[in-house]
Structure 1
């Protein structure tokens, strides 16, 4: 009986030990199943020297634009050209009714003639000592004033007509015959149609303005000509910012080639500064959590079983590559395939 009790106790001990070992093995199996290993692919990084482009938009216009007006006010007599017409330099475009202006010229002429007669009589009297030196001087001054008034009246009459100052196209006409026009009010707007005069004016920030120079290259894309790129160069850089939008105006002269341009065409301009800098080049798929100029990449940790998440500053895109302005110092490879599923706690294996 005693031997049976000892045998039963030993059997129970073996059963408990077996169950414990099985439970430990099951727990270890579950823990191993819960740990996910993410396969990743590495891509090497490189360094390039580039000039970061400046992208802006604007409207095509002519470098030679004229806003023509009458010097004096009056009633418009005739308008000889309409919007869209081509004109030649020196061509007569419009005239005022000269009734009042001719009367002013005649009045000035009569006043000048009277002043000349008065001066002649005073000179004769002065020779006979019947007039004083002061009277002679006053008559001489009166004659000179009358001549200047006649010159002013004749000058105003000459500018009661509008002549084209450039070879070009009438882009705007703002008056009609019979209307009253005040002095200096714009009547015609004319743009030169010479192929070398087409420009695009765009606004850039102070940071971009400081990197640009006269003669820098530019590429221009027009919505009117999709898929076609035009070449240009920077011809003017503003020396002061616009007081309204705080941007600096840049004028880009375009080579139209065989295309037909017109003022007002919308253009997207890419300016290429001469100043260049060094960038780190990585595949675009390596960037995670990109937000504007900020983003992150994953790199292998020292144990090569985990990854580290590093912040980077994005310079600009170049096809399927990203040029980084800073970050990744001392790093040779970045994670590409599999980066979207990573965390710094995940285990990884390099494919």
Structure 2
């Protein structure tokens, strides 16, 4: 909601209030003066009311949408574990985009990795540091394949609905965020239907999409990321030595060719409209412990190292003999913690 009362609506409201008070029937000069005075007073009241409204009802204004770079950096450093590449890319990409008053295109991020590595969590952190209402903001929109696009036979309908939904919401607020979860379960070609909105157009049918953010979440490419992490580990190199250049090319190619990817053969990749392919590395035992301690703190509990170790040891790791990487990352930490506390 833009929370703006148009001049015509203000005039209509003033006239209605005057009619209800009987002022329009008065013909004496003094009554006319009173009516004019009341109208002026009402105009001032409505202006004040509108300003008050900005603070009590979410609007597409700076009071409700304001990027907190320091907050995002702190959240990534303290709450996201084992993702040095993703943290660096996310902070730079979002900060650069939000500080640009005239971006040439929307920000498009494609987050990839196995389940439980932090993709959804990072999306939440971004929203919480842009929108006052965080993920509850009416300007943050989440789509999941199985919920919103379940039937293959209705692909054309989904394309039309998705286009209308995005256009309508960006028309309402240019600083909108769209999150597409389960991209690996999404029908190939569906995302290409919104390609024009992600391109370098100033406006489409009078609407500018340049200040919006699109985030794709997918397990596609996860095997390549895991293999790279394993190769570094087998070579005796620490994971922090893995760089984006070690993964970016193989990741984009893998996503483009994967049968389990909503971006399979997508023109978004061909046209280089995805700004960053962000890899999420498999988590190690120490990262799972950190997740457990952080969850305790979030629940208002005193972090307990012994309990955190019990939770971490209860998970499945691979390779089986060495137990290096958690199969499900930190996905089941909450339920495990319920058991041990």
Q: What TM-score do the two structures reach when normalised by structure 2?
A: 0.20
Q: Which has the larger radius of gyration?
A: 1
Q: Which of structures 1 and 2 has the larger relative contact order (alpha carbons within 8 angstroms, sep 6+)?
A: 1
Q: Give the helix-richer structure, 1 or 2.
A: 2
